[in-house]
Structure 1
Amino acid sequence: MEDRMQIAIDGPASAGKSTVAKLVAKKLGYVYCDTGAMYRSVTLLVLRRGVAPDDAAAVTALLPEVHIEFKPSADGQLTLLNGEDITLAIRQEDVTNNASAVAAIPAVRTELTNQQREIAAKGNIVMDGRDIGTTVLPHAELKVFMVASVEERARRRFLDNKEKGIDVSVETLEKEIAARDYKDSHRETSPLKQADDAVRLDTTPMSIDEVVDSIIKLYEARQ
């Protein structure tokens, strides 16, 4: 049987989706599409232009200017916005805290969903986000819904921030993550939810390698 496959990995903020998706794609030799980076890219442009993240009309007006590319690098993958390397810039706290508002705008989701489907149509792919299995790739052969407790996700974000020299308390991160969960799951357009045919994977007690191995086993079972 041909091993061509679309793998959709969804879940709430800081569940480790991007890290795991990158590793799964690398192991399988698949293309990796970081949809979260795409929404962050739009958010970065919005903030740079001084536009309110929840001003749907103003944000929508910026969309024709958005050209996002992913390019391989020695460290994994670069995110480019109109040719500029914004890989680190889109991980800043102000971008993180405003991405949900931008992602909730229907026109933004429509535009980026179209771009994501174009990327997926080119071949084997691992794609992670909030609505990949439900909206972007509803016919994906393997869907995984990754979850973890708010406390564990805040701890992971805290350690990640510490490495980057960002000083934010675990308590603050817990509040931010809980608030983002609410926004993501209650937005009108493509809310965060588990697809009916997705495998739920609680990563709270698991290491990154264990999560990757679990998804690889699910992949092998689909072959």
Structure 2
Amino acid sequence: MSRRLIVAIDGPAGAGKSTVARHLAAHFGLLNLETGAMYRAFALKAMRTHTSLDNAEALGRLAAGTSIGLEPTPSGNRVVLDGEDVTGQVREPEVTQAASKVSIHPTIRTWMVDLQRALGAAGGVVMEGRDIGTVVFPDADLKFFLDASPEARSQRRYEQSGGATAGEATPEAVLKELRERDQRDRNRAESPLRPAEDAILIDSTSLTLDQVLARIESIVQERVAARV
């Protein structure tokens, strides 16, 4: 086929999208396009330039002069913002929260979707985010929607952060923050979070990570074999 495989993975925060995307990219030789990292990179620039996260017009002007790239490495993607490696900075909690705020603006989402489409146009990619199967690549070869209860997702995030031993917020605070983010993502005017009509839904509330990976891997393998 002229275009290589495109796999879209959508779902709410903490559903395991990034973990699954990294696994599929490594296993099937795909490029992992982290849309969340791209939004966080732009949010980082907005914070650095003291641009209001609520000012869509100012953010649009900032985006016009912004370059964001992803460079694959054996240990994961390097996130490059205007030529600078910001991989470490974009993982900071305050940047993640800022990304959720800038992403609600239609101007920023339109700009980012164009950028994401350009990066994945040739295929051979796995892309995760909130609207990949519905907006960015509605013609993706495979679409997954990963979900889990808010309680399960927040507990996983708390444990991944090191919990109390790392001086992080309480489990209750993490759950509250996640519910607020869900509210923003599901109710924004532009590209609200929802599964594509032809997406394969996987609820991992009662599944282990290995079970989720095995299920998705087998589905992708079937599609890869069918294209040969």
1:185 maps to 2:192: no
Contact 1:147 1:204 in 2 (8 A): yes
Matches within 5 A, 1:151-170: 151-162=151-162, 165=166, 167-170=168-171
**What is the CA deviation profile of residues 29-71 of structure 1, one whole-angstrom value per residue up to 9, with x for unaligned ones?**
1111000111111111111111221110111110022211112
Task: Give the structure 2 partner of residue 66 of structure 1.
Answer: 66
Task: Give the structure 2 partner of residue 206 of structure 1.
Answer: 207
In structure 2, how many angstroms separate the alpha carbons of the residues matched to 1:27 and 1:50? 40
In structure 2, how many angstroms separate the alpha carbons of the residues matched to 1:22 and 1:145? 16
Question: What SS is found at the alignment partner of 1:193?
Answer: coil
* Structure 1: stretches of 5+ with no match in the other structure: none
Report the AA paired with residue 79 of structure 2.
Answer: T
Q: CA shift at 1:207, angstroms?
A: 2.5
Task: Give the structure 1 partner of residue 48 of structure 2.
Answer: 48
Task: Give the structure 2 partner of residue 99 of structure 1.
Answer: 99
Q: CA shift at 1:2, angstroms?
A: 8.8
In structure 2, how many angstroms separate the alpha carbons of the residues matched to 1:68 and 1:165? 31
Aligned positions, number: 223
Contact 1:161 1:168 in 2 (8 A): no
Question: What SS is found at the alignment partner of 2:154?
Answer: helix
Question: What SS is found at the alignment partner of 1:15?
Answer: coil
Question: What SS is found at the alignment partner of 1:209?
Answer: helix
Closer/same/farther in 2, CA of residues 209 and 48 from structure 1, 3 Å limit:
same
TM-score normalised by structure 2 residue count: 0.92
Question: What SS is found at the alignment partner of 2:162?
Answer: helix
In structure 2, how many angstroms separate the alpha carbons of the residues matched to 1:72 and 1:193? 28
Alignment RMSD, CA only?
1.8
Q: CA shift at 1:166, angstroms?
A: 5.4
Moved over 6 A (4+): none
Percent same amino acid at aligned positions?
40
Contact 2:3 2:123 in 1 (8 A): no
1:218 maps to 2:215: no
Task: Give the structure 2 partner of residue 33 of structure 1.
Answer: 33
Deviates more, 1:104-113 or 1:159-168: 159-168
